[in-house]
Amino acid sequence: MPNQTLPGWQQNLDQALALRPDHLSLYLLDVHEGTPLADQIRSGLRPQPDDDLAGEMYQLMIDKVCAAGYDHYEISNFSLPGFASRHNTKYWSGAPYYGFGCSAHSYDGERRRWANERDTAKYVRLIEGEESPVGERTELNEEDTRSESIFLGLRLMSGLDLEKYRMRFGSDLRDEYSAEAGSTKRCRID
């Protein structure tokens, strides 16, 4: 939050942990171009987020939440044992999911994504007219699918399942990226 301090963040964490929820999703602020916040930062109405402070807050978050007995199973998600989000894990593992309702998103688990109309009034008109509410379709190519598999798998603390990747794409990820990883023995993907 604008002007948030490390002690203030610690107080927020302490209050959240005192409630002892089964699950916590704690995301860092991501300023997207074209949003009111990005415009406010550019015009000087709001301060630019401090990356160093965000890093300190992230480390404090990990330390406190894990010390309270939560499993850190994804970059921004923590749960008490047995309460990891099955819903979100589907997104990160590339499983198919189907969304119903205004602005809902779906994925067939292979190459196709689609999203329903975002405008509520238009969505309702389409449904009442017995028309498809799908407003956006995306066909992923092989490179997109591979890239998503990698970056989503790396969000998980369990990491990327190299055998699953090999079975899905017919190649070894370590061989594909050996040049980028360098020839040093210190750099490994496993």
Q: Is residue 146 a contact partner of residue 131, using CB atoms and an 8 Å limit?
A: no
Clarify whether residues 29 and 62 are in a common domain.
yes
Residue 186 lies in a domain: no
Confidence at residue 21, expressed as pLDDT on a 0 to 100 scale: 98
For residues 11 and 52, membership in a common domain is answered with yes
Range of the domain at 25: 6-84
- 122: Cβ contacts below 8 Å, ≥ 6 apart: 135
Which of 64, 84, 104 is at the close of a domain?
Answer: 84
Amino acid 40: pLDDT: 94
**Full-model pTM:** 0.77
Look at residues 56, 84, 112 and tell me which one is the last residue of a structural domain. 84
Identify whether residues 149 and 126 lie together within a single domain.
no
- 10 part of a folded domain: yes
Number of domains the chain is built from: 3
pLDDT tens digit sequence for 42-85? 999 999 889 999 999 999 999 999 999 999 999 999 999 999 99
What pLDDT does 6 receive? 95
Q: Would you say the C-alpha torsion 167, 168, 170, 173 has a positive or negative sign?
A: negative
79 plus 101 within the same structural domain: no
Q: Summarize pLDDT for 90-115 with one digit per residue, the tens.
A: 888 888 999 999 999 999 988 999 99
Domain shared by 77 and 36, yes or no:
yes
Query: How far is 120 from 122, CA to CA, in rounded Å?
Result: 5
User: How many CA atoms lie within 13 Å of 23's alpha carbon, on the beta-carbon side?
Assistant: 12
What's the pLDDT score for residue 74? 94
pLDDT in tens, 123-161: 999 999 999 999 999 999 999 999 989 989 889 998 888
Q: 61 and 11 share a domain?
A: yes
**45 shares its domain with 94:** no
Q: Specify whether 103 is located in the same domain as 167.
A: no
60 with 98, same domain?
Answer: no
